[in-house]
Homo-oligomer: A and B are copies of this chain.
Amino acid sequence: MRRWNGWGDDSTESHLGKDTLEYLQQRLGSGIVPQDAKLTSVLASIPPSSLPPNPLIKTDELTRLRYSRGQSMSDWIELRGGTGITFTDGVAFPENEAEISDLYEYARHTGASLIPYGGGTSVAGHINPLLGGEPVLTVAMERMSRLLCLDHDSRLATFGAGIAGPDLEAELRAHGYTLGHYPQSFEYSTLGGWIATRSSGQQSLGYGRIERLFAGGNVETPAGSLELPSFPASAAGPDLREIVLGSEGRIGIITKATVRVVPVPPVETFLAVFFKEWERGFEAVRKIVQAGLPLTMLRYSTPVETETTLALAGRRNIIAPIERYLDLRGAGAQKCMLIMGFKGSRALVQIGKREALALAHRNGGVYLGTLFGKQWHKNRFKTPYLRNSLWEAGYAVDTVETATVWEKIPQMVDSIECALKEAAMVEGEKLHVFTHLSHLYPYGSSVYTTYVFRVANTPEKTLERWQRMKKAASLAIVNGGGTISHQHGVGADHLPYLEAEKGKLGLEGIRAIIRQFDPEGLLNPGKLVL
């Protein structure tokens, strides 16, 4: 069963090795094991629903709890601590557009606001009921999740937008296709959620971000149905898909989506290269992504992330000799790991590998075969499970992310890491912080920073500690010329920083669009823009 206050299915445990714990203790001090609230006491704390009964709506406490929060740091702190949780008043599970239309009517009559819900994996507060105000009805899309149409000639697949990653891939793979969209939340997140938050998969370099994959579909808005035809391209005015992408539940509920799929590639491979130090590898990855090769991903880690990855990998009997070998080749304490993925025909992949490795080699890269690449690929959805066991050892993990042009990347990495460390320092806390570039473009890169800190002795203090760090990092991002989000979206947590990139006038434009499709303001108030 899915955890109600952590990541993933409770049959999947991640165990922290002794080495890992020691590694963190050395860097952060001992963790204070937090006293998590029990499910029963949290359920008992839920106030009665203020929604009038409706056959489409469930209002039992367990359902309300399960659909009230996502996976942001504050969601974790509040669910684990059992304090400060805002609860939805009910959850509807519509099976078709007509039922969604009925829910809009219901909302008009009851004064409720509606929160569209995909997989509940938001890390930015997209699906959280706000404190105070009108009753909240969560609209969970999981029953609208079938494969509706598969056009082999044009490689277009239409799904109910509530379909989750694994089901979508299973449906496609049964026919020899893949979407290739693998955000870290893949296990639970949904097609509709990906579209509404402009999601980016780990292999977006090869398969495309959701913006490119989303061909068309249907959005049920309070003002009516918005049908988006799946043309291969069009010059006929503004592209309405692009106001649905990133709309974060503010203009309507995405009910159907047509996506561009590809056959499962004949060859797909992942390799690792190690660089002596950050700068030379940085130069190499920029050149590699600019070379127009059949890549599916690049992931380039700072020295601290590389060290952490190797330390947490366990299996010292394998890792230690590899590190000695790298040391001999000049890649020592400051070494940086690069993982590269390729796909295509055998011949294309071979050329791609050869050209990429030549570029890496010219910057002193040491090629290490497919071992780390395979490991990364195998474990890529397991990392979030670590959050559970780290928390239970007294450590919280969060990530912040942005994207900007190449020139600004080195300064951006420094600024984010320093801002986080300084914010922790205010309380005399240490921080374990590391960064990678994981979505690379010819014209810039994403920056993805992970930070581990000690849980405080009360949920309120942990929350305050996190908020201080989150604010510092967010300011570093917008002041450094980055987008407030490359892949997590805006939600509630990034809302204060959106004006920095859209401008006052841009925000007014977004508000005008929202007003047009949701004139009564029924949908997800307080998210994206005020």
Contact = CB atoms under 8 A, between A and B. Distances in A.
A509 B517 contact: yes
Contact of A405 (B156, B199, B445): B156
B200 A233 contact: yes
A405 B503 contact: no
A247 interface: yes
A512 B512 contact: yes
A497 B494 CA distance: 40
Taken together, the copies of this chain in the complex come to: 2
A242 B238 contact: yes
A486 interface: yes
Interface of A: 151, 153-156, 197-200, 209, 211, 215, 221, 223-240, 242-243, 245-248, 260, 262, 286, 290-294, 344-345, 347-348, 351, 354-355, 403-407, 439, 441-446, 481-490, 494, 498, 501-506, 508-510, 512-513, 515-517, 528-529
Contacts of A348: 292-293, 348, 351, 355
Nearest to A124: B235
Contacts of A483: 229, 231, 233-236
26 contacts: A151-B405, A153-B407, A154-B444, A155-B290, A225-B503, A226-B509, A227-B503, A229-B483, A230-B443, A231-B405, A232-B444, A233-B444, A233-B486, A235-B246, A235-B487, A235-B489, A235-B490, A236-B246, A237-B246, A237-B489, A242-B242, A347-B351, A347-B355, A348-B348, A505-B517, A509-B517
Given A154-B443, A232-B445, 10 more contacts: A153-B406, A154-B405, A154-B444, A228-B506, A232-B446, A233-B444, A234-B483, A237-B246, A242-B242, A262-B442
Which 4 A-B residue pairs are closest in the complex by CB-CB distance? A232-B444, A242-B242, A512-B516, A198-B235
A215 B442 CA distance: 12
Contacts of A226: 503, 505-506, 509
A236 B502 contact: yes
A211 B242 CA distance: 11
A484 B197 CA distance: 29
Contact of A234 (B198, B223, B225, B515): B198
Given A442-B262, A503-B226, A510 B232 contact: no
Most buried by B among A198, A504, A505: A505
A403 B46 CA distance: 54
A494 B237 CA distance: 10
Given A234-B485, A509-B516, A443 B404 contact: no
Contact of A243 (B242, B262, B344, B481): B242
A231 B486 CA distance: 9
A279 to B, nearest CB: 13
Given A156-B405, A292-B294, A508-B516, A529 B237 contact: yes
Contact of A232 (B153, B443, B484): B443
A376 to B, nearest CB: 21
B235 A199 contact: yes
Contacts of A502: 236-237, 240
Contacts of A405: 151, 153-154, 156, 230-232
B506 A240 contact: yes
Given A347-B355, A443-B154, A443-B155, A247 B238 contact: yes
B154 A488 contact: no
Contacts of A513: 238, 509, 512-513
A158 to B, nearest CB: 12
Contacts of A235: 197-200, 246, 483, 485-490
A195 to B, nearest CB: 11
In this complex, which of A156, A232, A243 has the most chain B Cβ atoms within 10 angstroms of its Cβ? A232
Given A242-B239, A443-B260, A505 B224 contact: yes
A211 B528 CA distance: 24
A343 to B, nearest CB: 8
A111 to B, nearest CB: 24
Output the residue of A237, A407, A483 with the most chain B CB within 10 A: A237
Contacts of A291: 345
Nearest to A225: B505
Contacts of A215: 443
A482 B345 CA distance: 32
B347 A240 contact: no
Contacts of A517: 505, 509
A239 B246 contact: yes
Nearest to A212: B212
A481 B231 CA distance: 9
B236 A509 contact: no
Contacts of A293: 348
Contacts of A290: 155, 262
A370 to B, nearest CB: 22
Contacts of A246: 235-239
A155 B445 CA distance: 13
